[in-house]
Amino acid sequence: MSVKEEKTFDLDLLIQQIGPFGKFQLINYLLICIPIAYTAMYTLTFVFTAGDLEYRCRIPGCDFDNSSFQANFLNFTIPKDGDTFSMCQKFHHVPNATIEDQCQADLFDRNKLEDCSEFVYQDDETTILSEWDLGCNEEWKLSLVGTINNIGQLVCLPLTGYFSDRFGRRTAFVASCVFAALFGVIRSFSTSYLMFIIFEFLEPALGSGVFNAGFILGMELVGPERRVLGAFFINCSFALGEALLGLLAMLTRDWRLLLIVSYAPTFVFVTYHWLVPESARWLLNMNRTRDTAKIIDSAAKMNKSRLTSEARNMLDNALNAEPMVEEKNDKIREKEPKNEYNLLSVFKSRTLLLRILNCSFCWTSVCFVYYGLSMNSVFVAGDKYINFILNCFIEIPGAGLCCFLMERIGRRKMLCLSLVLSGSSCIAYIFMSDAPEGAQLAVFLISKSAATMSYITIYVYTTELFPTELRHTLLSACVIFGRIGSIVAPFTVLLGKYFESLEMILFAAVSIPAGALILLAPETLKTTLPDTVQEAEDIGKP
């Protein structure tokens, strides 16, 4: 937009005039937060759909439909693995056709072991583990589900970004909701592991853009002083959505039913095409000034705002503008000189290059620990559903404390403190195997709360570190590195089965060094957002 046009229609001035966070913005935020809560469930459904179960070998001739999980014949049919029976091996059965009862101790060779091909499960809960017998040598397929889901989210980042910039925030928001609902419901009818894993990828690849599109859609119509409040609302709704997933999993205890009740309601959000207005900033950027003015005018009326004569005239002129005028302005804009920014300028700047490497490692650590703790919460001593729900609810006070401290101690110190606290809590948890369940859970929740604070802070901090001309590109690069951490995180569940507390050791090993290294980057609290590479390099300099 030209300078002349900016003076003719000043959106920032009008937003201040209608109120930075009035009734209009509040209603839009509440509407946006509902689908965001649902999509929060979709990021972690694999924790329960591909969840672990207690199981043992099925013994032909001994196990029938009414057999109990703990049966007397286990003593002579399955070898002991420490204090428990082996989950994956059984004694070789030597059948005797002359007798009817094949479940006798002398018919099993204790010197010869064989792998199990069928299993008996302890709970009435069903996951894809029990659906397709993915135990023992195929347990890695359960961890692969979470990895595939996060790869899909990684693929979605550039797709949603382009779609949102090209066709609008609201369009991307609604389209993502529809794709998520469609592929999620189809996944519930999977007839094989391969079909399940394909749709586990497609759903986040095309439907996980709800959070980013909704975040931007809400943020672009509030004043700068209320953006932290807006972020707090969205993060709280995300945490509530995750907790709702734990509640639904506890009530359904069936992976197919869980997917249906989680995804089917999302089809309703197609109505948001008419309920939620498009981003005013995006419309203005597309030279649709009159459409922008209509939204601002509606907001002013709902907020009962009294506009100054300057603002009123500005709005009336835009509302009364002829379509041909806007088309003419669009042609003029095309002829205006455009600034050309070269990404290579970053690689020529040693300061920015080191900053990108530092932030990328920090992003990887934050995502690895945040998602890893969420996935491992179901293995903490106690009821796995209650633990998961508490693990989600702890994010709300963590988000509130984070927003409070960021404005007082700064982004860099906040990030360092939260990462070190999370890692230290993981180390403490390792030595609490004999402690009461409540104490173990408390330390685990402290670690998750700190991880939440680091997740929120890194978003704000990375945005403020890089210049406007390359901010979106560099932020996306850091987020992609972060997704590497979330892609690897599901396998910590599998590693923890074979090496006790290894997952907690890994969380501490990456979070504490990341917290220390981020101190090498400059503080951005109360600094003006840099517009050029040179201004970004000057952050922190006296």
> How much is the pTM?
0.81
CA dihedral 273, 277, 282, 287 (to 10 degrees): 100
Collapsed DSSP state (helix, strand, coil) of residue 114: strand
Residue 343 has pLDDT above 80, yes or no: no
Residue 328 has pLDDT above 70, yes or no: no
**In this predicted structure, what is the pLDDT of residue 4?**
41
The number of distinct structural domains making up the chain is 3
Beta strands 55-57 and 89-93 are unpaired
Residue 355 has pLDDT above 50, yes or no: yes
Distance, in Å, from the CA atom of 383 to the CA atom of 227, rounded to the nearest integer, reads 37
Same domain as 75, residue 34: no
Q: Flag whether 326 is in a domain.
A: no
E strands, 55-125, are 55-57, 80-81, 84-85, 89-93, 108-115, 119-121
Q: Structure tokens of 463?
A: 């945005």
Q: Flag whether 328 is in a domain.
A: no
Q: Flag whether 332 is in a domain.
A: no
Q: Structure tokens of 283?
A: 């419309």
Q: Looking at residues 516-523, what average pLDDT do you find?
A: 91
Phi, psi values for residue 89, rounded to 5°: -130, 155
User: How far is CA 455 from each of CA 118, 360, 411, 430, 442, rounded to the nearest angstrom?
Assistant: 42, 13, 12, 23, 20
Instruction: Write out pLDDT tens, residues 19-68.
Output: 878 888 889 889 999 999 998 899 889 999 998 888 888 888 888 877 77
Q: Looking at residues 158-162, what average pLDDT do you find?
A: 79
Residue 7 has pLDDT above 80, yes or no: no
Same domain as 190, residue 222: yes
Pick the residue with more confidence: 203 or 478?
203
Nearest Cα residue to 216 out of 227, 208, 229:
227
Q: Judge contact between 447 and 373, C-beta under 8 A.
A: yes
Instruction: Write out pLDDT tens, residues 435-479.
Output: 888 899 999 999 999 999 998 888 778 877 877 666 656 777 788
Residue 285 has pLDDT above 80, yes or no: no
Same domain as 276, residue 410: no
Q: Flag whether 171 is in a domain.
A: yes
Q: Flag whether 455 is in a domain.
A: yes
Confidence of residue 322 (pLDDT cuts 50, 70, 90): low
Same domain as 297, residue 165: yes
Q: Looking at residues 273-284, what average pLDDT do you find?
A: 87
Q: Flag whether 7 is in a domain.
A: no
Same domain as 492, residue 407: yes
Instruction: Write out pLDDT tens, residues 396-441.
Output: 998 889 888 888 898 899 999 999 999 999 999 999 888 888 899 9
**In this predicted structure, what is the pLDDT of residue 469?**
60
Q: Report the 10 Å Cβ neighbour count for 16.
A: 15
- Residue 27 pairs with which residues in a beta bridge? none
Task: Give the CATH number, domain containing residue 450.
Answer: 1.20.1250.20
Range list of H helices, 379-470 = 384-393, 395-409, 411-430, 437-465
Q: Structure tokens of 105?
A: 């101790």
**In this predicted structure, what is the pLDDT of residue 526?**
74
Same domain as 370, residue 238: no
Distance, in Å, from the CA atom of 539 to the CA atom of 471, rounded to the nearest integer, reads 15
Collapsed DSSP state (helix, strand, coil) of residue 539: coil
Q: Judge contact between 359 and 536, C-beta under 8 A.
A: no
Confidence of residue 349 (pLDDT cuts 50, 70, 90): confident
Q: Flag whether 497 is in a domain.
A: yes
**In this predicted structure, what is the pLDDT of residue 48?**
92
E strands, 33-72, are 55-57
* Residue recorded with tokens 């672990």: 52
Q: Judge contact between 343 and 58, C-beta under 8 A.
A: no
Distance, in Å, from the CA atom of 205 to the CA atom of 199, rounded to the nearest integer, reads 9
Q: Which of 319, 351, 386 is the last residue of a domain?
A: 319
Same domain as 268, residue 216: yes
* Residue recorded with tokens 């050791």: 505
Q: Looking at residues 381-406, what average pLDDT do you find?
A: 88
Q: Looking at residues 341-360, what average pLDDT do you find?
A: 78
Q: Which domain holds residue 176?
A: 15-42+128-319
Residue 538 has pLDDT above 90, yes or no: no
Residue 333 has pLDDT above 60, yes or no: no
Q: Which of 319, 352, 380 is the last residue of a domain?
A: 319
How open is the CA angle 488-493-499, to the nearest 5 degrees?
110
Same domain as 347, residue 311: no
**In this predicted structure, what is the pLDDT of residue 62?**
86
Phi-psi region of 79 (alpha: psi -120 to 50; beta: other; left: phi over 0): beta
Mean pLDDT, rounded, of the chain: 84
Residue 147 has pLDDT above 60, yes or no: yes
Confidence of residue 320 (pLDDT cuts 50, 70, 90): confident
Q: Judge contact between 176 and 200, C-beta under 8 A.
A: no
Q: Judge contact between 282 and 220, C-beta under 8 A.
A: yes
Same domain as 77, residue 142: no
Instruction: Write out pLDDT tens, residues 60-107.
Output: 888 887 777 888 888 888 898 777 888 888 998 888 877 878 888 888
Distance, in Å, from the CA atom of 408 to the CA atom of 406, rounded to the nearest integer, reads 5
Q: Structure tokens of 212?
A: 């980013």
**In this predicted structure, what is the pLDDT of residue 3?**
41
Distance, in Å, from the CA atom of 260 to the CA atom of 477, rounded to the nearest integer, reads 34
441, amino acid identity? L
Same domain as 350, residue 279: no
E strands, 50-165, are 55-57, 80-81, 84-85, 89-93, 108-115, 119-121
Same domain as 118, residue 135: no
Same domain as 194, residue 90: no
Nearest Cα residue to 313 out of 293, 340, 338:
293
Distance, in Å, from the CA atom of 373 to the CA atom of 198, rounded to the nearest integer, reads 25
Q: Flag whether 304 is in a domain.
A: yes
